[in-house]
Structure 1
Amino acid sequence: MAATTDSNMDISTSLTGILNENLCADHLQTLKTFTGALRDQVYRDGVEEEVFSSLLKLLSLLCEELEAANTENQDVQNVSVKLQMTAECFRAQRNSCVQNTRNQGLLSELGFIELSVKILSLLHTMKFEGRNGIFEPLCCGIQFLGNLSVGNQACKDDIWQLTFPNLLLQLLSVEDEKAVGYTAMVLQTCLDEAKVEEVAEPDNIQLALRVMELCRTHPDLDWTVLIATQHFLKSSALVERMYSVMSHLDRVTLLELLQAQLKEEDPEECGIPPSVARFLASCFQKGCGAVLTLATGSASSNEVLQEALTVISLLDVLCEMTSDHRQFMFLQNHPDLLETTIELLSQVHAIGKASKNVFSAAENFSSFCDIEDSSSCSPVISFKAHLIRLIGNLCHSNTDNQNKVRELEGLSLILDNFSIDANNPFISQWAIFAIRNLLEQNKSNQELVAGLERQGSADYSALMKLGFEVEKRDGSILLKPVKKNT
């Protein structure tokens, strides 16, 4: 303990000495010694308040000199030294907070949060020849806020109050990827349900939009993905407000994250509110016609193409929501969702038959797409198959929807999609799945299918997999249960 006390006194004396001299490169080593000492837990636990007070005074002096440098033409080398010393102060603060609640509280009480936030704001706006030199202190300062907030709710709240939303948004937009990543870490650490609702307010929505943009442009940045999946997607208000103003590209990213969340091991733990499902179903109904432009060639602009891709992503999410997710099965009763899906399938099927286009069936799997180059794939790959999948999901154990499909002539439409189609892998399997759900305990549907006249080139032998035997008689198709061997 005596050795630790002596070290405290030596470092305190050294820091005080720096304050009485003109700051220069020689003082940087003193700070590095302090930073290195703080890596030792015993030393870290024994640092006295006086040492931190001296560090705070030094940081305040550096802040004043950097402010002056930002308004005056100063020597780049001189400014560079001040920036390095600022970075080292931040490193010392960062190290002192590691697994140390006492130091977290002490630094907060002394005013380190306010001063550090002030310097980060200054660094963000500094303009001088060696601008790249700001990134080191910027990163270290953000790391300090991150370490300070870990496991300390009071510090989280203070940091949030001082940085939300403007500084967080500014730091998420700097040109240094590490700084952006550290900022995302701070945001993720501070967020809770109440703070997410603050983010959802119209005046603050830009912060959420920036996070979603980073999820698209920097998919390897884990912190932004965690922010989106663990916080943003759980707020229906935030999802709706983001979706209404974001670009189609970012909408697709949001929908891809939603789908990934839905595929979690425990379907009940995805955390997505039912109101989000209702909203997305309505978006699909409202905009689904955009996908038809892909066949007519009118999707000449990126905007139109991206809108169509959004519709395709919406369909994928709705398929996932209605598969093994009991909390979303109310979508079976969502007004006109089933009718919209049947009508879209009918249009896509008719367009594909009318002329050669992206919705036409293809038998050649060799030209399907390059597995190693997804950009070579058509944007509507599996679209028709997924429409059939959604119809099947919406009719599962739902007599009203089974009947509705029959009334809308959807049964014959689905039966006409049993043929192999390279543009819609597994379409036969999804058609089998849908027909099974449509025929299950529904005598009227079974009788209709049994009496249908053969149209097109559908392969009804696939119905054998459902336990039905298909027999052609006088141009009609009869459906009867397969006889079991006794």
Structure 2
Amino acid sequence: MDVVPESILQPLFAAANCSTLDKALEKLIELARTTDGRSDLASNNMLITTLHLCQSSPYPSCSDTLLLALKLVRNLCAGELRNQDSFIELNGVDIISNIIGSKVVVNDSNYGIIRMGLQVLANVSLAGEEHQIVIWNRVCSLEFTEIAKLRRKEICDPLCMIIYACIEENDELLDQLCSDHALPLLVEIICTASAVRFGENWLKLILARTCAEKSYFSVVFSKLLYAPIDCTFTQDQSFLLTTLSEMINEQIEHITVSKVFAFDVFKILKTALGVLNCVSRPKSGLPTGSTAIDVIGYSLCILRDICAFDGHADIIDSLLSLGLIQMLLDLLRDLEPPSVIRKTLNRGESQDSTAYSGKLCPYKGFRSDIVAIIGNCAYKRRLVQNEIREKNGILLMLQQCVTDDENPFLREWGIWGVRNLLEGNLDNQRVVSELEVQGSVNLPELAELGLRVDVDQQTRRAKLVNTSG
């Protein structure tokens, strides 16, 4: 083991009242957990001594001492502004970066050293913009991209914390993150999180800023196309959509979704639907394990939540102008009837099993998601109400007001959609009241809603009819 200079040892021993290095560091680490302890150690300039110790503890011969020293620096910089300022003044960013980014540490996959160094930088990054800019200039370098390639959750989380602190309120740094120079860092972080997931929400916050609020979603999405699965999408792309869907669902009222993002998701959905070919009934909801199906599902979920928020009225209008309603109605028409209607039809003695054939749902909840988007778009939008009537979609929507084994909450979403279609629209109300059908079949669960299933004896097509009026 290398000999640590006395000029470093003596201040540590004096502050800890201890005569062995490791024990002194352990005592000081504990002392630095408290606000008063950090303040006292700042008054004794303990940060500069500890940084010198980090430089005097080469890896791997002094790895245990180095880890303790990094832990002490981390604690010293946890909310203590004097230490955070000193860290920048003492060139602490380069000292720590040189340690954790060194080839010997990265190649040895010493996750403890790297994680602790990242936590040091994360604590300092919380001190303000000046600190963040200094850290950013080092973090967006190639060595941190190599760190991001280490597929470990405990490395991904603090790295994401640093990046989010830098870009949260700084659009210039955000733009740099998505530039050709730094984009590989973000891509590798996403790939790591896709492989090992993440423990904290920093990555979600980063993706919300870069992809949902700003216009970089398609850039990031396209960079994740390394080894296509299903000849279309990758697991990393599916993960990106999944994460964004979760974030938007959780924080829809606090995220300003960009029109570009909504358009990009719509285009991806159309592409994914173009290669969809389901040959068996769905066994699960999202995620399904199929990248193409998950891309479809989470794209629908994102559009569903965007269209549910009044603050996105201009985005919804733009999506409607792209033919969103027509696409969704076509998807519904192509599907086989909901399970409760299929069961009703099967009760007929002469039923032809192919009379109500149609495409299968690719996942449990697919039909519900489609109906939800239509219902959300129709809320207080006369143009949407009229478009659905003009495209003969009212009967189709009525058919969705039933329970379905493969679509949880279909009944609730169907009722929501029909309510929005009829509210304040006399023409739509007249269409429902004038329905004429043959061969009625009564089901208790439908009767409670004032509806019944009717089957045309010639076409064998099922319809739902309003009986309450």
Alignment TM class, shorter chain as reference: 0.7 to 0.9
Match of 1:348 among 299, 319, 335: 335
Gaps of 5+ in 2: 14-19, 225-232, 282-286, 345-360
Residue of structure 2 equivalent to 1:70: none
Amino acid at match of 1:108: I
Q: Is the 8 A contact 1:418 1:459 kept in 2?
A: no
Matching of residue 189 in structure 1 with residue 165 in structure 2: yes
Distance across 1 between alignment mates of 2:289 and 2:31: 59
Residue of structure 1 equivalent to 2:239: 253
Q: Is the 8 A contact 1:294 1:305 kept in 2?
A: no
Matching of residue 60 in structure 1 with residue 46 in structure 2: no
Matching of residue 236 in structure 1 with residue 222 in structure 2: no
The CA deviation string for residues 158-189 of structure 1, in whole angstroms up to 9 with x for no partner, is 11101214333322332554333333333333
**1:14–1:201 CA distance, 2 compared to 1 (3 A):** closer
Distance across 2 between alignment mates of 1:283 and 1:126: 37
Residue of structure 2 equivalent to 1:145: 121
Q: Is the 8 A contact 1:255 1:313 kept in 2?
A: yes
Residue of structure 2 equivalent to 1:423: 406
Partner-residue secondary structure (3-state), 2:406: coil
Residue of structure 2 equivalent to 1:314: 299
Distance across 2 between alignment mates of 1:465 and 1:392: 21
Matching of residue 96 in structure 1 with residue 86 in structure 2: no
Residue of structure 2 equivalent to 1:69: none
Shift of 1:346: 1.0
Matching of residue 172 in structure 1 with residue 148 in structure 2: yes
**1:385–1:453 CA distance, 2 compared to 1 (3 A):** farther
Q: Is the 8 A contact 2:441 2:454 kept in 1?
A: no
Residue of structure 2 equivalent to 1:272: 257
Q: What aligned pairs does 1:372-391 form with structure 2 within 5 A after superposition?
A: 379-391=362-374
Q: Is the 8 A contact 2:39 2:80 kept in 1?
A: no
Amino acid at match of 1:44: L
Larger Rg over CA atoms: 1
Aligned residue pair count: 419
Shift of 1:343: 0.9
Residue of structure 1 equivalent to 2:16: none
Match of 1:222 among 194, 200, 203: 200
Shift of 1:115: 1.9
Amino acid at match of 1:151: A
Shift of 1:337: 0.7
Residue of structure 1 equivalent to 2:417: 434
Matching of residue 86 in structure 1 with residue 81 in structure 2: no
Shift of 1:103: 2.0
Q: Is the 8 A contact 1:454 1:477 kept in 2?
A: no
Distance across 2 between alignment mates of 1:191 and 1:478: 54
Distance across 2 between alignment mates of 1:443 and 1:17: 82
Q: What aligned pairs does 1:31-50 form with structure 2 within 5 A after superposition?
A: 35=29, 38=32, 40-48=37-45
CA RMSD of the aligned region, Å? 4.3
Residue of structure 2 equivalent to 1:22: none
Instruction: Work out the percentage of aligned pairs sharing the same amino acid.
Output: 18
**1:231–1:418 CA distance, 2 compared to 1 (3 A):** closer
Distance across 2 between alignment mates of 1:359 and 1:212: 41
Amino acid at match of 1:46: S
Partner-residue secondary structure (3-state), 1:295: coil
Residue of structure 2 equivalent to 1:337: 324
TM-score normalised by structure 1 residue count: 0.71
Partner-residue secondary structure (3-state), 1:151: coil
Shift of 1:315: 1.5
Matching of residue 392 in structure 1 with residue 375 in structure 2: yes
